[in-house]
């Protein structure tokens, strides 16, 4: 198996779904091709069978690597969304607290003193 290197690149957030779909479809296409090739495997107990099995296992390993990369991408996106949501909530809480300190959330309540003594 050849050496692998991790790379990083960025995509616009609105293009992420399209990019993930492309990578996923590529992995699924490799699986389909592998499945098709497995259907035509020689079932003899010979050296050719060993070579075919080895080829299948190597391709499965490559597909697994692709799927692991996709897993990391999706988990990274979900982590980003979770952090973004948390930041939005913190900002909202800070704004609410600031409004409370400034008195903008205060309500005017009118009490008729006569009502208090009538009870």
Per-residue pLDDT tens digits for 22-81: 999 999 999 999 999 989 887 789 999 999 999 999 999 999 999 999 999 999 999 999
pLDDT of residue 92: 78
Residue-range definition of the domain harbouring residue 65: 13-83
Contact 73, 102 (CB under 8 A): no
Q: Is residue 2 part of a domain?
A: no
- 110 to each of 25, 113, 114, 116, 119, how far by Cα in Å? 66, 9, 12, 12, 17
pLDDT of residue 113: 55
What's CA 33's distance to the chain center, in Å?
A: 26
Integer Cα distance of 58 and 69 in angstroms = 17
Residue written as token pair 């400034």: 102
Per-residue pLDDT tens digits for 15-27: 999 999 999 999 9
Q: Is residue 65 part of a domain?
A: yes
Integer Cα distance of 94 and 32 in angstroms = 52
Q: Is residue 1 part of a domain?
A: no
Q: Is residue 70 part of a domain?
A: yes
DSSP-assigned letter for residue 11? -
Contact 12, 18 (CB under 8 A): no
Domain total for the chain? 1
The pair phi, psi for residue 106, each rounded to 5°, is -75, 145
pLDDT of residue 119: 45
pLDDT of residue 100: 64
């Amino acid at each position: 198996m050849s050496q692998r290197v991790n790379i990083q690149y960025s995509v616009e957030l609105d293009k992420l779904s399209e990019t993930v779909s492309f990578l996923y479809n590529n992995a699924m296409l490799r699986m389909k091709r592998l499945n098709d090739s497995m259907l035509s495997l020689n079932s003899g107990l010979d050296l050719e069978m060993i070579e075919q099995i080895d080829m299948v296992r190597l391709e499965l390993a490559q597909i697994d690597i692709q799927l692991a990369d996709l897993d990391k991408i999706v988990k990274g996106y979900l982590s980003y969304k979770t952090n973004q949501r948390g930041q939005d909530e913190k900002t909202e809480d800070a704004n609410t607290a600031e409004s409370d300190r400034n008195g903008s959330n205060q309500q005017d309540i009118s009490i008729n003193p006569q009502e208090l003594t009538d009870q």
